[in-house]
Amino acid sequence: VIVRLRPPGKQEEEADLIVEKASVNSLSILDHTFTFDSEDIFRLVGLPLVENCLAGFNSSIFAYGQTGSGKTYTMWGPPSVMSEGASSSTDRGLTPRVFERLFSRIDEEQSKHSDKQLNYQCRCSFLEASIYNEQITDLLEPTQRNLQIREDVRTGVYVDYLTEEYVSTMKDVNNLLLKVKFTCYYLKLLCSYMLNINKHHIRKFHNCL
């Protein structure tokens, strides 16, 4: 578990203090805390996961926090990185850095074992999980809703009928992301309508697999 702290926004700077002094026993963080350097987070969190993945282990990164706390920024980076795929940006988040490292390591492994004809295949999926509706939506094919989670002895846990697209470069991933952003915009409008007619708050989580 790691905690990342973002700088206060304009509204927060102008607002009154909510907590002036916290007890030393009120919060205990035993692992790691980060501020604004995305490279530091990648080196500690992302790099080991890439190596674990290449070794055949399932790996995941889960960003959790309230609205506006910086989850999307941590995972993807600022909007310019998400829309333009600026691989040179120092602000790019964990996801593009992980993919860049993954594709780089795959190239290394295939070159190192060229005599064995080693072949890697990467497939990418995007899903949205709604806690309130207990519904999983395929963000690459949004007509596929209410998908089911299955478990297979050989392949492990998977989502039935979830769309998978082959990717081999960060550009491939960015192209899928643009498609997902359009889908999310549509689902956001739909969610806003549902919130107007339903007193319950709808919580959703986006996943890139």
CATH number of the domain to which 184 belongs: 3.40.850.10
pLDDT digits (tens, 9 = 90+) for 81-126: 666 555 566 778 888 899 999 999 999 988 888 777 778 889 988 8
Between 17 and 59, name the one with better pLDDT: 59
Residue 69, marked binder? yes
Determine if residue 70 is labeled as part of a ligand binding site. Answer: yes
Tokens of 194: 């549902």
Does pLDDT of 207 surpass 70? Answer: no
Q: Which range has highest mean pLDDT (14-18, 120-124, 202-206)?
A: 120-124
Assess whether pLDDT exceeds 50 at residue 165: yes
pLDDT at 193: 40
206 domain residue, yes or no: yes
Q: Is 9 annotated as a binding-site member?
A: no
pLDDT at 141: 87
Domain that holds residue 125: 121-209
| Number of Cα atoms under 13 Å in the Cβ half of residue 96 | 30
Q: What is the pLDDT of residue 189?
A: 47
Residues 6+ apart with CB under 8 A from 87: 96, 100, 170
Is there a domain that residue 1 lies in? no
Q: Tell whether 138 is covered by a domain.
A: yes
Mean pLDDT of 175-193: 65
Query: Measured between alpha carbons, how far is residue 76 from residues 119, 152, 192 in Å?
Result: 28, 31, 24
Number of separate domains in the chain = 1
Residue 51 lies in a domain: no
What pLDDT score does 174 carry? 84
pLDDT band at residue 50 using 50, 70 and 90 as cut-offs: very high
- Indicate whether 178 belongs to any domain: yes
| The pLDDT value given to residue 103 | 92
Predicted TM-score (pTM) of this structure: 0.73
Structure tokens at 82: 């998400």
Supply 156's token pair. Answer: 């492990």
> CB-hemisphere CA count at 13 Å for 158?
12
Flag the least confident range among 13-17, 62-66, 74-78, 113-117: 13-17
Strands 32-34 and 2-4: parallel
Q: Establish whether 72 is an annotated binding residue.
A: yes
Residues in contact with 149: Cβ distance below 8 Å, sequence separation at least 6, in sequence order: 136, 157, 158, 159, 160
> What is the number of H-type helices and E-type strands within the chain?
7, 9
Task: Say whether 67 counts as a known binding-site residue.
Answer: yes
Name residues whose C-beta falls within 8 Å of residue 154's C-beta, 6 or more positions apart in sequence: none
As beta bridge partners, residue 160 has none
Is 147 inside a domain boundary? yes
Which carries the bigger pLDDT value, residue 35 or residue 91? Answer: 91
Annotated ligand binding at 68? The verdict is yes
In a domain, 2, yes or no: no
Res 51: pLDDT: 92
Q: Choose between 189 and 104: higher pLDDT.
A: 104
Q: Establish if 136 belongs to a structural domain.
A: yes
